[in-house]
Copies of this chain bind each other. A is one copy, B any other.
Amino acid sequence: MTVSIGLLGAGRIGKVHAEAIATNRDAKLTAVFDPVVDAAAAIAQNAGARQAPIDDILADPAIDAVIIATPTDLHADQIEAAAQAGKAIFCEKPIDLDTERVRSCLDVVARGNARLMIGFNRRFDPHIAELRGQIDRGAVGDVELAQITSRDPAPPPEAYVRRSGGIFRDMMIHDFDMARFLLDEEIVEVSATGSVLFEQMIGDAGDFDTATATLRSETGRICVITNSRRATYGYDQRIEVHGSKGLAAIDNTRATNVMVADGSGYRTEPLLPFFMERYLDAYKRELAVFVDALTNSAPLSPNGMDGLRALEIADAAEESARTSRKVTIQSR
């Protein structure tokens, strides 16, 4: 069986998904929507798909699933519409920047028995998946402490910053999902710190360019996260997980491993530039997992609740960074 997919949104991340579909033998891109007609047309033509309005896509019984890759403020409405249309749904994170809106959206999904997967792509990165596999196979014993370093190569444009929801909801939310994925427990307390150290535009927008958070789980497991909107040496993505038996960690990746040595020392090249390069395989494997789960009627993961939980942690981090308090999360 081939899963027929409608793509909502033909921007940067929409293109990534279209390419993932193109390399997947069990999936087919059937229709594409984007208000920017040229963007939609380019993807559609490449894939042999049609351009269509959202309503047509949702109404087409031949389309099994939609991928929502539109701006964040449209996600919740589109999820609800797709759920009511009986489509399986893959939606980029976050569902919404407001947890109440997320909850009401998830209620609609639940009432419609709709299937929803959220795009926390890093879970599907081969390195991170193997790290999780090592933990599952007992390499570190009982997990005690995780350390996550995430640094973007350069600040996003001001327009992006202003509607991003802030560094915790926009950037560190990936790390919050990683914390839950790796600690295997819910987070109950968050302490966060933010600074404006190098990009006044970010400060003017009321946001931080550098931030850290310390998360505590139900049984006292700890996750420490550091974020920066700049890393001159590339997209820095490292994780280490300590446990009763030892340590498991992933390091950064490079385009090539060429090393050059001379009188100034030994040099290797900078890291891969950004998430498109670093997580290319992750996006393909994420799509494959989505398609496989649909084909086999298996549960989708990460799901809407995972999206909600990460956002709750982001809200708590934001509050902690703005006050002198650690913030407790009341899970519901």
Measuring CB to CB, which residues of chain A are less than 8 angstroms from any residue of chain B? 23, 126-127, 130-131, 134, 139-140, 142, 144-145, 147, 149, 151, 189, 191, 193, 195-198, 210, 212, 214, 216, 219-222, 224, 226, 228, 231-233, 236, 242, 244-251, 253, 255-270, 324-326, 328
Chain B residues within 8 Å of A219, by CB: 197
Cβ–Cβ contact A126 & B270, under 8 A: no
Cβ–Cβ contact A246 & B222, under 8 A: no
The listed residue with most B CB atoms (<10 A of its CB), out of A139, A224, A232, is: A232
Q: What's the minimum C-beta distance from A237 to chain B, rounded to whole angstroms?
A: 11
Residue of B189, B236, B262, B270 touching A232 (CB-CB under 8 A): B262
Chain B residues within 8 Å of A266, by CB: 233, 267-270
The listed residue with most B CB atoms (<10 A of its CB), out of A149, A250, A324, is: A324
Residue of B197, B257, B270, B326 touching A261 (CB-CB under 8 A): B270
Q: What's the minimum C-beta distance from A260 to chain B, rounded to whole angstroms?
A: 5
State whether A247 and B263 are in contact (beta carbons under 8 Å apart), knowing that A224-B224, A255-B126 are contacts in the complex. no
Q: What's the minimum C-beta distance from A36 to chain B, rounded to whole angstroms?
A: 23
Chain B residues within 8 Å of A191, by CB: 191, 193, 214, 326
